[in-house]
Amino acid sequence: MDLEFRTARREDVPVIVGLINDDPISAARSSSREPDYYAAFEAVDADPRNELIVVEADGEVVGTIQLTYIPGLSRKGGERAQIEAVRVAVPHRNRGIGREMMRWAVERARERGCALAQLTSDKARTEAHRFYGALGFTASHEGFKLGL
> For 127-147, what is each residue's pLDDT tens digit?
999 999 999 999 999 888 877
CATH number at residue 58: 3.40.630.30
Answer whether residue 61 is part of any domain: yes
**pLDDT value, residue 33:** 64
Domain containing 43: what range?
A: 4-134
Answer whether residue 14 is part of any domain: yes
Look at residue 2 and tell me whether its pLDDT is greater than 90.
yes
Answer whether residue 142 is part of any domain: no
Of all residues in the chain, what percent carry a pLDDT higher than 90?
74
Answer whether residue 110 is part of any domain: yes
Answer whether residue 144 is part of any domain: no
**pLDDT value, residue 86:** 95
* pTM higher than 0.85: yes
Which neighbouring-strand residues pair with 67?
Answer: 51, 83
C-alpha torsion 42→47→51→54, nearest 10: 10
Tell me how far apart the alpha carbons of residues 97 and 83 are, in angstroms, rounded to a whole number. Answer: 16
Q: How confident is the prediction for the chain on average, in pLDDT?
A: 91
**Number of structural domains in the chain:** 1
Look at residue 15 and tell me whether its pLDDT is greater than 90.
yes
Look at residue 53 and tell me whether its pLDDT is greater than 60.
yes
**pLDDT value, residue 74:** 86
The beta strands (E) that lie in the chain are given as 4-7, 50-57, 60-70, 80-88, 116-119
